[in-house]
Amino acid sequence: MEEFKINKETIKRIENLVEKKNNALLLKSLSKLHYADIAEIVQELSIEKATYLIKLLESDKTADALAEINEDFREKIIEQLSASEIANEIQELDTDDAADLIAELPENRKEKVMSQISDSEHLKDIRELLAYAEDTAGGLMAKELVKVQEDLSVLKCVNEMRSQAEYVTRVHSIYVINSKNKLLGRLSLKDLITANSKAKVKDIYIPKVDIVYIDHPADQVAKIMSKYDLEAIPVVNKKNELVGRITIDDVVDLIKEEADKDYQLAAGISNDVEANDSVFELTKARFPWLFLGLIGGLGSVFILQNFEEFMNKPHLRSLFFYTPLIAAMAGNVGVQSSAIIVQGIANDVLKGSIWSRLLKEVSLSLINGFLLSIILILFGIFINQDLSLSLTVSLSMMAVIIVAALVGTFIPILLNNRGIDPAIATGPFITTSNDIFGIFLFFYLAKLILGF
């Protein structure tokens, strides 16, 4: 499929057509586009023009486009739609997307919209999904799936699959259940089409099937599907009854959301925000970490004041010029170490004891610190710097690198063990703490080595 490219000319042409209310040409231009492309176009328009397009196009096209649109932008569009118009969109969505869209509505509109949904089964499924916590398998799953009973013959099984598949966008798996809706296994299409038409499903189904329970944490579901390369996974309740399925596209969305959140935490943004959020929201998300950075900077100032005597000794005054270098090395090493640990925790690949991990980081720091120290000494020789000063800076930098690596490794593991998201450790928290430790360690060791 060739990728559809959005450019300024395309957006301008769509805007002109909307302004002129040239519906015929608009429909001709957009009717053959994929819903993801329509979502991309809609997000480039003003709220008024975007709403006009949503109302103009058929719901079977705009429903999926709405699900793709940025949540804040979608909320503004939905505010412009009536309860019946929103219900028309929801009826075209799979139950998981429909439940997500309804969950975003203000409380006073939810029941109004749901009362306009004519498909009672669809409404029942949506209500069920809304009851589950958002960060669980139940909140992630959809009700659309294909299931057959074990006692059916192959011929009747095919007919049953045909009737169910009509309402399922993608058929990833066929699940086998008993008369009480308990999940027994899955059915291979190859086994189905090669079996005798009079054979029973129970004779050919595969009893081994990966499952998750309704209350399974969503991030754990993502890890299971990633580990076993699953396109879909069935969801069961405590009685082992089949209640839904989770597909790979839902998991990809979840992984993206988690990655965005961790990236913002690592950058020192405490809330989930986007570039087009209000100044107030952006300030609220950024200020706490900037304040932490300010406190850390003030701490460095007090540390430097305690070593003011360096400034009174001309042959040692040069040490102050290395302060930014030491602070930068401490911050960089700390962030590198913590980023690796956070990634390992997130991907569930961090194995072994904390002591072996710390020992590995010390070994790595010694190697890197030694190589960098050699470069620093050679630099000192090149600029005719006193050798004792170069050695002091080099040894101090090695010590700072080791301490920064230990802090960057230990803090995320400690936070994770205490149930705190370790992603917060990779941002200003690690950088600021290592700046303070680094500067203090640098001048303290310099004082010990140079003996004054």
Q: Is residue 434 part of a domain?
A: yes
Tell whether the model's pLDDT for residue 314 goes beyond 90.
no
| 8-state DSSP, 58 | -
Residues 222 and 305 in one domain: no
Q: The pTM is what?
A: 0.65
Interacting residues of 153 by C-beta distance below 8 A, sequence separation 6+: 197, 198, 199, 200, 201
Span of 49-63, 188-202, 287-301 with lowest mean pLDDT = 287-301
Same domain, yes or no, for 116 and 195? no
Residue pair 172/231 in contact by the 8 Å Cβ criterion = yes
Give 411 or 220, the one with higher predicted confidence: 220
Structural domain containing residue 376: 279-450
Q: E strand or H helix at 118, and its extent?
A: none
How far is it, in rounded angstroms, from Cα 444 to Cα 3? 60
99 and 170 share one domain: no
State whether 378 and 423 are in the same domain. yes
Is 361:448 a contact under the CB 8 Å cutoff? no
The two tokens of residue 415 are 């936070």
* 257 within a domain of the structure (yes/no): no
**In which band, very low, low, confident or very high, does the pLDDT at 352 lie, cut at 50, 70 and 90?**
low
Are 76 and 207 in a shared domain?
no
Give residue-wise pLDDT tens across range 105-155.
Answer: 988 899 999 999 999 999 999 999 999 998 899 999 999 999 999 999 989
Looking up residue 41, the CATH number of its domain turns out to be 1.25.60.10
Q: Does 262 fall in a domain?
A: no
Tokens 């057959």 sit at which residue? 148
- Split into its structural domains, the chain has a count of 3
Q: How far apart are the C-alpha atoms of 227 and 221, rounded to whole Å? A: 10
* The predicted structure's pLDDT at residue 406: 85
Instruction: Examine the domain organization and report whether 28 and 130 are in the same domain.
Output: yes
Asked whether residue 294 falls in the same domain as residue 434, the answer is: yes
Task: Kindly tell me if the per-residue pLDDT of 87 is higher than 60.
Answer: yes
Are residues 395 and 295 both part of a single domain? Answer: yes
Predicted local distance difference test score (pLDDT) of residue 309: 67
Q: Does some domain include residue 429?
A: yes
CA 236 to chain centre: 25
285 & 425 share domain: yes
Q: Which has the closest alpha carbon to 113: 129, 122, 102, 104?
A: 102
Q: What is the CATH number of the domain that holds 347?
A: 1.10.357.20
Burial pattern 356-383, b for ≥16 Cβ within 10 A else e, equals: ebeeebbebbeebbeebbeebbeebeee
For residues 154 and 148, the answer to whether their CB atoms sit within 8 Å is: no
Backbone angles phi, psi at 213, to 5 degrees: -95, 160
* Residues 65 and 106 placed together within one structural domain of the fold: yes
Q: Say if residue 312 is in the same domain as residue 176.
A: no
The reported pLDDT for the residue numbered 286 is: 64
93 shares its domain with 163? no
